[in-house]
Amino acid sequence: MTAIKKKKRVSKKSKTAWRKYSDINDVEEFLEDQRLEERLGKFDTKPDEELFVLDTHGDDKPEEKPDVKPEIKPLSAKQRKRALLSETPKCFEVLLPTSKVQDPNAKRNHVKPVGSKPSDLSKITKQRKLVKGVLAKKVEDIKKNKKIVAERRKKIKSIRKTYDKNIWGDDVLEAKSIPETLVDEFISPEAQLHNVPTTKRLRSKPALPKSVVTRKSVEVPHPGVSYNPSFKEHQELLQEVVQHEQKMMKREAHLHRVTTGMFSKVTPKEKENQWREEMSAGLPQPHDPTTDPDSEPSDNEYKAINPPVKNKKKDHKARRKQRERIAERERLKQEKINKKKITDIYKLRKIQSSLANKEKLSAELRSKRATKRAAREATAPPALSARKPPAREPEFVDPEQLTGDLRNLSNTTNLLKERFESLQRRGALAASKIMMKKKRKLKSYFKSGHKVTEKDIERYVNRDVGKK
Amino acid sequence: MVAKKKKKYSSGEGAQFITRKAALKKLQLTLKDFRRICILKGIYPREPRNRKRAQKGAGGIKTLYHTKDIKFLLHEPIIWKLRELKVFQQKIRKARAMREYQKMKKYFRDYPEINIDHIVKERYPTFIDALRDLDDCLTLCFLFSTFPSLKKVPPDQSLLCRRLTVEFMHAVIAAKALRKVFVSVKGYYYQAELEGQTITWIVPHHFSFQPQSKDEVDFKIMSTFVEFYIMMLGFVNFKLYHSLNLVYPPKLTAAFNADADKDLVDERAYVAERIAAMNISVAKIAGANEVEELPEIDIFNTEDTDPQKLEEAKLEAEKVKKLKTMFKGLKFFINREVPREPLVFIIRCFGGEVSWDRDHFVGATFDESDESIAYQIVDRPRMDKQYLSRYYIQPQWVFDSVNARTLLPINKYLMGAVLPPHLSPFVDKTKDQVYIPPEERELNDPNFKPLNEDDASDEDIEEASDEDNEEKEEDSEDAEAVLTKQYQQEVEQDSQSEESEDDIDPQKKKIAKEKKKAMAVTTGVTHKEHPYQKEIEDKQAFRLREKLVRKKHRNLYKSMKAGQEKRKKEIWLLRKKRRLHDEKVKEDKKAKKQKQKMQMLEAASS
C-alpha cells in the first residue's frame, strides 16, 4: 500500500492566511522580468546584432595576430579638447537616466539649453554683425512688419464701419452653414440640411416673447402732446393726466390707511403708562381697596369660579319627548319637500327661464371677465424680475409752457429715459435698480506732528511781534 | 424592477425655464457679458405661465430665461470672443493699477472688436424683417447722435450714429418715403413708408445736452442696444442705397469722415455740418436711371372685390403720388431762428430746394436775395426787409401741408399770425363716427367748405360724400345722353346729304330706298338705369348677405350695427342743432341789421 501523502489542507479564510499560504513566486518572477525589461529594453525590439554574436571560429583559439595599429594621426591637445566638448562631461553622466523606463512626467519644464547665454564668441560675432549692418537691417525689417500688422489691424477695425456688403443677398444656404459643396440647386434641401455637421447645425431659436413682438416700440402720440395743440385735444390729455393722478392719490391714501393710519397716536405719557401696565402684568399688586370686588356677605363656603358641570341624566319621559319632537320635525320637513315637488311641476317654465337667465348672466360675466383679462394682459408690464417696471405716465405740458412756436420750446421730457422704460415695458429688459457705486468715505485727520493748534498760531503771531 | 422615480421639475415647465443665475453658470459668463450677448442676440427674459413651477418651487420673482434660448446661445461663436475680451480687460486693469500706461495704451489699441454682422442676418432673415423692426433702432440712433462722448459709451458710437442717421435721411429723401410729420413737445415724429413698411421714429428737439441723472437709465445697456442697432442700420442703409441706385457710402461733408472727427469740437458747428450734409444730393450709380415711378395700382381679382375699398386704395395712391412732388420746383429760404434740421429734411423729401443764411451756417445753396425763392420760413413777428416776390410763412405751414398732403392756403400761417393748432396725423381714422364741428372739419380737410359762407352749402354738409358721388354719376349720364344725341344728329345729316347727292336714277333710287328700308336701323333706346331701383336691389342683396353672417358672430354684428345707427343718429341730431342754432343766429343778425337800418333811416328822416 502506498502511503497516501496527505494533502495538507490549509484554511485560507482570512486575508493574512491567504497571503501566507498562497504561492506567488511565479507572479513575482514575472514582474521581476518585466521590470528588467522595462529597464533594459525589450528583447524583441532590440536588433539581432546586439543580442547575438556570429561565431566564426568555433572552439579553436584565435590566432595571435601581430598588433598592427592603423596609421592614425594623433590628435593635438586642442583637437582632443574640442572633441570632448560635444560629449557630456563625466561628472554629469550620473545625472543621465540609465534605465529605459519612460519619464512618467511627460511634460517637464523646459531648462534653458547650454549656449543660450551669450558667450564670448557669440558676443564677438554679434559685434561683427552690428558693424556690418546686418542687425540694423533686421531692426528695420521688424519695424516695417510691425507697421504692416498695425495697418492690417486698423483696416479690420474699420471694416466694421464700412458696411460694404449686402447681408440680405441670396446666400441663404451659406447662412445655415451648409458646406459649399452642397450648395447646389440639384441637391434637395433635406439632403443639404442632413449633411450639416452637428456642431455647425443651428439650434432653432424659440419664438420671441409675445409682449416684445406685439407691443409697439414707438407708440402713437396723443394728439394733445402737440407743441401747438388744439384746445379740445389738450383738454382730453389733461383729463387723462387728472385721472392718472387721482388714481395715484387714491392708491397713496389707501396705503396710508392700511399702514400708518392703522395705528392710533398716543402721547408719550400714555405710552409710558401702557408700557408700565404691560410690563407689570401678573405681578403682585399692592392692595387697592377700590378695585376690590364688592364684598358680599360671605357664608364661609368655598366657591369655585367655574363650578363643575353636573352630568344630569334625562329620564325616560324626557327622552321619549325629545324623540317625538325630532320625528315630528322630520315629518314636517318631508311634507314640505313633497309639497314642493308637486308645486314645482307647475312652476317648470318659470324655473327653466330662471335657469336660462342665470346661465346667460354668468356667460356674460365670463365674457366680460375674459375681455378684461385680455386687455390687462395686453398692456400689463411683464413681471420679469422682483422690481416692477415704472408705469407709463401721460406726458403733459403745462399750458403756460406751451408757447405755440418752435423757437421757445422748452425741454420737458427725457427721451432716453422714455426709451429705457419702453424697453422694460415691452419685456425686452427686466426692470432693475441701477446699483450705484458708493463713494468711499475718506477719514481725514492731522498727522500728530503737523497738527496746528491755537497755541501754535499764537506763538507764530507772537514771534512776528517779538521780531519787531 | 420598479422604474426609476422621475425627479421633480425634470420635465414640463420646470425644465423649460432657467434662472438667470443658472444661465450664467451654464454659459460661464459674467453678468455683464451675459447682458451684452442677450441684447446682441435678441434674447429676452420670459414670463412663465406658472411661476412656482418654472422656478422649481422657489418663491419670489426671479428673472427666467427659456432653456432653449440659453442652449441657442451656447453655440454662439461670440461667447469665445467675450472670454478673450475678459483676458484683455484683466490685462488693462492690471496695467492701469501698475501705472504702466504704455502697456495699457497698447492693450487698448489691440483690443479685439466683435463682429456682429452675422447676428443681424440671423435676427432678421429678410430685409423686410429688418425694416419692420427699425422704429426702435432709428429712435435710439437719432437720440445717441446728439450725445457727446460719455463715460459708458464707446467714443465712436455717437459719431457713427451721426453718420448713419444722416445717411438714412438721405435714403428717405431719395425714396421720397416720408408720409407724416408731427411736432410734439417730445420731439419730431416722422413716419416713412419704405418697401411697404411703415416706420415711425422720433427725433428729439435740438437742445444742448443735458446730463442724465445716473440712477435713471443704465447707459451701458442702452449703449449695447445702440451697438447692435448701428450694425443693423448700416446694413439697412447699404441695401436701401442699392435699391435706390445710389452710391454707398455717400460722400457727405468733411465732418463725417472718420479722420476729421477731432476737428469739430464745437457742438453748433457740428450741427451745422450735419444739416449741410443733408442739403447735398447723393451720388447716383453711373448709368442708373431715375427710380421708376410705381405704376398705378393693378386690380387683381381677389376674393373680396369691394369696389369701395379699391376706390379708396386708388385715391390714397393718387394722394401719395401728389404728396411726393408737393414741393417740386419750389425754393425755400429758412431764416436763422427756425430749427433747420427738420425743415430741410421735410422740404427735400418732397422735392423742394432749401437754403439759409450763408454767413451763419455752412452749406447754403442760394442767397436770400434770390428772386426765385417762393417761400421764406420765419418764426418772428415781423421783419424789416421783405421781398414782394415771396411768401413769409411760419414753419408750421410745412408740417401741416405735409399732413394735409396739399399746399395749404398760407393766409393762416403768415408771419406774425396766430397759428391754427397743429393736429396729429396719427389719429385713428376708424373712429370717424363722431360729430365734428364744421370749424374742426375745416382744419382737417382743406377742401371742406365752411358753412357760413353761403346758404346753399348748408344742407350739403349733412350728407357730404354720398351726394357728391351721385351728382357725379348724374353728370356723367347727362354727358352720355348729350353725346348720343349729337351722334344721331350727325348720322341723320349724313344720310340727308347722301340723298341730295344721287338723285339721278329714280328707279334705282326707289330700289335703293326699299333696300334701305329693309336694312334700316331704328334708333335704339339707351338702357337707363333707375338709381332708385338699383338702390333697392342693392339693399336686398345686402340683406341677403347679412343673413350669411355666422351664428357665432351674429350678436356681435347686430350690436355693431346698432351702435352705428345710434352714432349716426347722434351726429344727425347734433348737426341739426347746429344748423338751427346757426340759422337763428343769422336771423337775429339780419333782424338786428334791419333794425339798425331802420333806425338809421329814421334818424336820417327825422
Measured CA to CA, the distance from residue B22 to residue B18 in angstroms comes to 6
Q: How far is A232 from chain B (nearest CA, A)?
A: 10
Measured CA to CA, the distance from residue B221 to residue A433 in angstroms comes to 13
Domain final position from B78, B109, B140: B109
CB contact under 8 A, B182 and A226: yes
Whether the predicted pLDDT of A345 surpasses 50 = yes
Residue B305 at interface with chain A, using a CB cutoff of 8 Å: no
Q: How far is B312 from chain A (nearest CA, A)?
A: 23
Look over chain A and give the mean of its residue pLDDT values, rounded to a whole number: 84
Whether the predicted pLDDT of B260 surpasses 60 = no
Length of chain A: 468
pLDDT attached to residue B562: 93
Best of A146, A151, A161 to disrupt the B interface by mutation (most B CBs within 10 Å)? Answer: A161
Name which of B69, B75, B234 is nearest A206 (Cβ-Cβ).
B69
pLDDT in tens, A90-99: 888 888 877 7
Whether the predicted pLDDT of B1 surpasses 80 = no
Same domain, yes or no: B252 and B182 = yes
Measured CA to CA, the distance from residue B200 to residue B186 in angstroms comes to 14
Listed in sequence order, the DSSP H helices in A197-281 are: 210-214, 231-258, 268-279
pLDDT attached to residue B177: 92
Is the model more confident about A126 or about B520? A126
Whether the predicted pLDDT of B456 surpasses 50 = no
Q: How far is A398 from chain B (nearest CA, A)?
A: 11
Same domain, yes or no: B105 and B128 = no
Residue A152: pLDDT band (50, 70, 90) is confident
Q: Is residue B486 part of a domain?
A: no
Name which of A218, A225, A411 is nearest B139 (Cβ-Cβ).
A218
Name which of A209, A216, A228 is nearest B44 (Cβ-Cβ).
A209
CB contact under 8 A, A233 and B424: yes
Q: How far is A263 from chain B (nearest CA, A)?
A: 29
- List, in order, residues 6 or more apart from B434 with CB less than 8 Å away: B567, B571
Whether the predicted pLDDT of B499 surpasses 50 = no
Residue A150: pLDDT band (50, 70, 90) is confident
Best of A202, A204, A205, A437 to disrupt the B interface by mutation (most B CBs within 10 Å)? Answer: A205
How many C-beta atoms lie closer than 10 Å to residue B193's C-beta? 17
pLDDT in tens, B4-53: 888 999 999 999 999 999 999 999 999 999 999 999 999 999 999 999 99
Mean pLDDT score, A227-232 = 88
Measured CA to CA, the distance from residue A302 to residue A304 in angstroms comes to 7
CB contact under 8 A, B66 and A415: no
pLDDT attached to residue B453: 46
pLDDT attached to residue A396: 80
pLDDT attached to residue B493: 61
138-197 in chain B: CB under 8 A from chain A: 139-140, 143, 156, 160, 182-187, 189
Q: How far is B528 from chain A (nearest CA, A)?
A: 49
CB contact under 8 A, B339 and A404: no
pLDDT attached to residue B293: 52
Alpha-carbon distances, residue B590 vs A26, B212, B603 (angstroms): 141, 63, 19
Q: Is residue B203 part of a domain?
A: yes
Q: Which domain holds residue B223?
A: 117-209+216-278
Same domain, yes or no: B329 and B420 = yes
pLDDT attached to residue A140: 93
Whether the predicted pLDDT of B439 surpasses 50 = yes
Sign, CA dihedral B413-B418-B422-B423, equals negative
Q: Is residue B68 part of a domain?
A: yes
CB-CB contact of B340 with B361 (8 Å):
yes
Collapsing DSSP states into helix, strand and coil, what is residue B520? coil
CB-CB contact of B188 with B203 (8 Å):
yes
Alpha-carbon distances, residue B152 vs A84, A190, B30 (angstroms): 68, 47, 18
Structural element, H or E, at residue A177: none
pLDDT in tens, B578-601: 999 999 999 999 999 999 999 999
pLDDT in tens, A161-209: 778 788 887 655 555 556 666 666 677 777 777 776 655 666 678 899 9
Beta-carbon contacts below 8 Å between A and B: 215
Q: Is residue B515 part of a domain?
A: no
pLDDT attached to residue A7: 64
ipTM (interface pTM): 0.77
332-361 in chain B: CB under 8 A from chain A: 337-339
Measured CA to CA, the distance from residue B530 to residue B234 in angstroms comes to 61
Same domain, yes or no: B202 and B220 = yes
Domains contained in chain B, number: 3
Same domain, yes or no: B242 and B155 = yes
- List, in order, residues 6 or more apart from B401 with CB less than 8 Å away: B326, B407, B408
Name which of A165, A385, A419 is nearest B61 (Cβ-Cβ).
A385
Q: Is residue B339 part of a domain?
A: yes
Collapsing DSSP states into helix, strand and coil, what is residue A424? helix
Is the model more confident about B70 or about B524? B70
Measured CA to CA, the distance from residue B334 to residue B355 in angstroms comes to 6
pLDDT attached to residue A173: 53
pLDDT in tens, B108-135: 888 888 888 888 888 898 899 999 999 9
pLDDT in tens, B81-92: 888 888 999 999
Planar angle of CA B380, B384, B388, nearest 5 degrees: 95
Measured CA to CA, the distance from residue B268 to residue B522 in angstroms comes to 84
Percentage of chain B surpassing pLDDT 70?
82
Q: What's the one-letter identity of residue B14? A: G
pLDDT attached to residue B455: 44
Mean pLDDT score, B197-226 = 87
CB contact under 8 A, A411 and B44: no
Angular region, A324: left φ>0, alpha ψ -120 to 50, beta rest = alpha
pLDDT in tens, B308-324: 778 888 888 888 888 88
Measured CA to CA, the distance from residue B473 to residue B530 in angstroms comes to 12
Is the model more confident about B350 or about B505? B350
Planar angle of CA A38, A39, A40, nearest 5 degrees: 100
Q: Is residue B284 part of a domain?
A: no
Domain final position from B82, B109, B136: B109
* Cell output for A305: 369660579
CB contact under 8 A, B419 and A227: no
Collapsing DSSP states into helix, strand and coil, what is residue B393? strand
Measured CA to CA, the distance from residue A207 to residue A372 in angstroms comes to 26
Residue B256 at interface with chain A, using a CB cutoff of 8 Å: no
Burial (Cβ within 10 Å: 0-12, 13-18, ≥19) of residue B574:
middle
Same domain, yes or no: B246 and B175 = yes
Structural element, H or E, at residue A440: none
Residue A295: pLDDT band (50, 70, 90) is low
Best of A415, A435, A439 to disrupt the B interface by mutation (most B CBs within 10 Å)? Answer: A415
Name which of B45, B110, B214 is nearest A436 (Cβ-Cβ).
B214
Name which of B63, B66, B426 is nearest A221 (Cβ-Cβ).
B426
Same domain, yes or no: B160 and B256 = yes
